[in-house]
Amino acid sequence: MTRVGIGLIGAGIMGSRGHFPGYMEIPTQAQVVAVCDKNQKAVDSIVEKSGAKGYSNYEDLISDSSVDAVDICLPHNLHGPVALAALRAGKHVIVEKPITIDLDQADQIIAEAKKRKLKLMTAENMRFIKAYEIAKRLVVDGTIGEISYVRGYTGGPNEDTSDPSNWRIRASESGGGTIMDDGIHIFYLFRWFAGEIKSIYAKTTKFGKSEISEVEDNAVGTLKFSNGALGIFGFSTTTAAPWTEELQLFGTKGSILVDFLASNPLRVYSIVGRSDDKSKWWSRYGDVSWEYPFIEHSTTEWVTQSMRREVQHFVECILNDNEPLVTGEDGKKAVELVLKGYESARTGREVFL
């Protein structure tokens, strides 16, 4: 295979603005050959731009012989069933997070992909943000020592929770509110940077005034890691500020702060290489200070940029027979933590994984 035929299932915001442009940037490696959505205008828009075949039924798209790989950008409750159907039809699969909202379904699709030797990737775009890639490299190199404490936040204004057509406000379709939809990104990052998580304690609330929303719009909590480190998190969809994400990593030899509302999103402090001669110190912390590595970054387009990079990575994995950087197992681990967070919020107790 020299070029991957992509079938895009779901032409909403994620599919049309995030994933689709990524494929269009690599025409020699991938071609969107089919698109499916119940919104005919959304289908027509992508058909016009790409020449793809349009479908209103995902089963018809999966049966299309020109489709080598399926990209799933649907309401959360459909991720598992559609991914399983695509894998059984012999298609490689990339599925938006959460990989499923049910752990048994996650196990099924992971097993099906392995059995058929197909690529299965969780579309976790945080893994493809340059600031995080550099931060990870610094952590691996020992720049901040052993991580002992982490903080994570994601939030901003979300879609209208008073709109009955918004599937995200229905628990049966979304699987939950801001923890499932937004916080799952932070949980993935926590594991990637600081290792396995041992327990979670969470509190949730529905701060907004919508009478029809069934899910939480704010959440806070704490985590314990297997290595003894601690973490805190906060998620909100009721804040009047541009959508953003913050990650703070504090270690025994330094700290890393990431803030995507900043024009330079990465700050690094490290005592590695600090002079032993205190006469050279200009403060009680030594002859070191915060550094700001230069990173190409857009405060308004960092989300879509990372989505384009993630789908291009998926294509490369198919063409070169490589394992995706974010696997089905990674996606399942993040969902497991989300579900344990909801259990904690319901019971008022710390819940162990």
pLDDT digits (tens, 9 = 90+) for 87-101: 999 999 999 999 999
Task: Please say if the pLDDT value at position 187 is more than 80.
Answer: yes
Q: What is the pLDDT of residue 242?
A: 86
Q: What's the Cα-to-Cα distance from 10 to each of 78, 209, 321, rounded to whole Å?
A: 11, 29, 26
Where does the pLDDT of residue 7 fall: very low under 50, low under 70, confident under 90, or very high at 90 and above?
very high
Burial (CB < 10 A; 0-12, 13-18, 19+), residue 80, is buried
pLDDT digits (tens, 9 = 90+) for 208-234: 888 999 999 999 999 999 999 999 999
Task: Please say if the pLDDT value at position 159 is more than 80.
Answer: no
Q: What is the pLDDT of residue 300?
A: 76
pLDDT digits (tens, 9 = 90+) for 254-298: 999 999 988 899 999 999 989 888 888 888 888 889 999 888 888
Contact 85, 59 (CB under 8 A): yes
Contact 228, 198 (CB under 8 A): no
